[in-house]
Amino acid sequence: MAKEKKLVEAITSMNEDFAQWYTDVVIKAELIDYSSVRGCMVIKPAGYALWENIQKELDARFKETGVENVYMPMFIPESLLQKEKDHVEGFAPEVAWVTHGGMEELPERLCVRPTSETLFCDFYAKEVESYRDLPKLYNQWCSVVRWEKTTRPFLRSREFLWQEGHTAHATAEEAEERTKQMLNVYADFCEEVLAIPVIRGQKTDKEKFAGAESTYTIEAMMHDGKALQSGTSHNFGDGFARAFGIQYSDKNNQLQYVHQTSWGMSTRIIGAIIMTHGDDSGLVLPPRIAPTQVMIIPIQQRKEGVLEKAEEIRRTLAAAGIRVKTDDSDKSPGWKFSEQEMRGIPIRVEIGPKDIEAGHAVLVRRDTREKVTVPFAHLAEETAKLLEAMQKDMLERAREHRDAHIYTAETYEEFKETIDNKPGFVKMMWCGDEACENKIKEDTTATSRCMPFAQEHIGDVCPVCGRPAKAMVIWGKAY
């Protein structure tokens, strides 16, 4: 029993120290391990299986919109990077450089990609000639490197996995439509698959992507009230096209510049899953993204017929399309229960000699720990229903938690009081001046998360400076 107890006790309570709780969970659930390269992580099978499911779901959604996958080199010549000044300045502090090939110094430094706009632009300059070549709807799955000073597993690391979409269009209208379309793909994915409610909106000029005309974002609230930027989509207009000479002949045989977009989501979203749904026992995974949806745990498995019945149940559930495993290890049932809970597996099925005699199994939900007894004949059907109910309930609980921690401020004093003492988001009007945005960050460390598409009228003036307000902004402290 001591060992079984230790498994859960090793996880710090989230109310005691949320940051330590998070670190304990990612380590104890064996999602990652630390590597010998500072700031980089080893993604272990349990963590990578989550990323594989995310990749599979997103990739299918991208392709439904006409996107094709490609792959670009991981190195960018310095001269190519310098072609877009704003973009370079935005990433300069985070760039890693390759200066030698073997023992020889390179004639030109190579940047290890922090993102691939310049590579795609260089490619499009050769690929696009006529309006018939457009649109180009490409995406790549890859890793990128950003030399972060402070790192945390999944949330911020020097190398991380992501996808980056890069599209080229004939008109500004098409580019804007694609930018918002992909943001909605991300938002729907987060809510439908990850059970994470998000706020859709536009970044301020201060917070937008370097080189973009506009950046759209989905912002999620973690359990501790902090914001996590969960996916972004950028409209580049024709700025990159002019810098890289990406032109096409229109239907009147006139040369025009293309309009471009870029959009991305990374392994940071795994951190969002953990911090939105986890509890003091570990992970709580939404069924649709969980690599293993059901764990069968035989009770008194050495007794005749128990393991055979567990295998029969496993085959039945698998045939119904449920991702299921059996834990037939020689660990005690109590240890197995703790381990299943810590790993966040949505449902466990308990089956022992008494259950077999009674003709039923016991199903336990990870999120509520509710137990239900189900006859063997209805096990597949009832398990599927339970998984769907859990998925729906997790989204609703996360939405209720978020909405209960969104506040409104009509004065700057009210804003400061709220942001400092109540974890969560604060809605407040803003004049559009970056000076006010900077003052808020200096006074409170809070940043503008987005100008929501669903605008609300809270007042006529900016509470910071008293000038006419231009937009309602969601403010918060962020990861």
Please give the angle made by the CA atoms of 86, 89 and 94, to the nearest 5 degrees: 135
How is residue 362 written in tokens?
A: 């016991």
Average pLDDT over residues 204-230: 96
Predicted pLDDT at 47 = 98
What 3-state class would DSSP assign to 383? helix
- Asked whether the beta carbons of 348 and 296 are under 8 A apart, the reply is yes
- Per DSSP (E only), the strands in 203-333 are 214-221, 227-237, 247-249, 255-257, 259-266, 294-298, 324-326
- In tens, the pLDDT along 277-324 reads 999 999 999 999 999 999 999 999 889 999 999 999 999 999 999 999
Residue 35 and residue 42 in contact, taking contact as beta carbons nearer than 8 Å: yes
| C-alpha span between 238 and 471 (Å, rounded) | 26
Look at residue 83 and tell me whether its pLDDT is greater than 90. no
Number of H helices, E strands in the chain: 15, 23
Backbone phi, then psi, for 204, in 5-degree steps? -70, 165
* φ, ψ for residue 64, nearest 5 deg: -65, -25
Q: Phi first, then psi: what are they for 460, rounded to 5°?
A: -95, -20
Distances (CA, A) of 323 to 26, 184, 319, 337: 22, 28, 9, 18
pLDDT in tens, 138-176: 999 999 999 988 889 999 999 999 999 999 999 999 999
Residue carrying structure tokens 């500072």: 38
What is the set of domains in the chain, with CATH numbers? 17-277 (3.30.930.10), 294-387 (3.40.50.800), 406-476 (3.30.110.30)
For residue 431, give the 3-state DSSP assignment.
coil
Residues whose CB is less than 8 angstroms from the CB of residue 210 and which lie 6 or more positions away in sequence, other chains included: 86, 87, 88, 89, 90, 91
pLDDT band at 186 (very low <50, low <70, confident <90, very high): very high
Write down how long the chain is: 479
Whole-prediction pTM: 0.95
Non-local CB neighbours of 355 within 8 Å, separated by 6+ positions: 299, 361, 362
Amino acid at 298: P
3 state SS of 316? helix
**Calculated CA dihedral for residues 120, 125, 129, 133, nearest 10 degrees:** 0
Burial of 9 (0-12, 13-18, 19+ CB in 10 A): exposed
Return all residues near 78 (Cβ < 8 A) that are at least 6 apart: 97, 108, 109, 110, 111
Mean pLDDT (whole number) for 404-414:
98
Omega of the bond leading into 135 within 30 degrees of 0 (cis): yes
333-389 pLDDT, tens digit per residue, is: 999 999 999 999 999 999 999 999 999 999 999 999 999 999 999 999 999 999 999
Which one, of 304, 289, 417, 393, lies nearest residue 357 by Cα?
304
